[in-house]
């Protein structure tokens, strides 16, 4: 999809187009206090959430609001779409990549109905949480700036 991401080790990319923020800025203590792990977030301006790394989709939540990935190098991460979206039981989400699929960084995994989510008053901030295999400090120069889905934010 994005020619510059063909390399397996290009880094971690933005999961959505929108404003990149520190995990500590997410208005939910589970994420901001790093209870699930360290990471970063994007406040999406669009309706598509992409794979932040090249690897395998190892899990898609039954409620379609989150998915897990693992890279060849052993990095495990969770992408969680929105706050309190688990309560929708999958309504408003379309899964584009199933568990077991190999995807490239920047490839669309889940799409959500933006108008539906806005109508429900939901915050669609999307978090990338490192759950294993990534122990480096999260240093992102784009914090507070707009990013594009598939744009490298954590170079390797």
**Per-residue model confidence as pLDDT tens for the chain (156 residues):** 344 434 445 799 999 999 999 999 999 999 999 999 999 999 999 999 999 999 999 999 999 999 999 999 999 999 999 999 999 999 999 999 999 999 999 999 999 999 999 999 999 999 999 999 988 889 999 999 999 999 999 997
Contacts of 135 (CB under 8 A, 6+ apart): none
Q: Is 65 a catalytic residue?
A: no
Q: Residue 105 and residue 149: Cα distance in Å, rounded? A: 9
Model pLDDT, residue 136: 87
Q: Residue 103 and residue 121: Cα distance in Å, rounded? A: 31
* Residue with token string 């406040």: 43
Which residue is catalytic, options 64, 65, 70, 80?
A: 80
């Amino acid at each position: 999809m994005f020619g510059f991401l063909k390399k397996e080790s290009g880094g971690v990319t933005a999961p959505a187009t929108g404003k990149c923020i520190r995990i500590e800025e997410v208005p939910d203590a589970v994420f901001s206090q790093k209870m699930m792990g360290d990471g970063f977030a994007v406040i999406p301006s669009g309706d598509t959430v992409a794979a932040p790394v090249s690897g395998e989709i190892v899990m898609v939540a039954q409620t379609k609001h989150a998915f897990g990935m693992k890279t060849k190098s052993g990095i495990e991460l969770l992408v969680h779409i929105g706050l309190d979206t688990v309560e929708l039981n999958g309504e408003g989400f379309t899964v584009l990549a199933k568990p077991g699929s190999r995807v490239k960084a920047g490839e669309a995994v889940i799409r959500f109905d933006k108008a539906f989510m806005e109508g429900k008053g939901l915050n669609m901030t999307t978090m990338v949480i490192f759950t294993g295999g990534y122990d480096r400090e999260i240093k992102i120069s784009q914090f507070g700036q707009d990013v594009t889905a598939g744009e490298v934010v954590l170079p390797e």
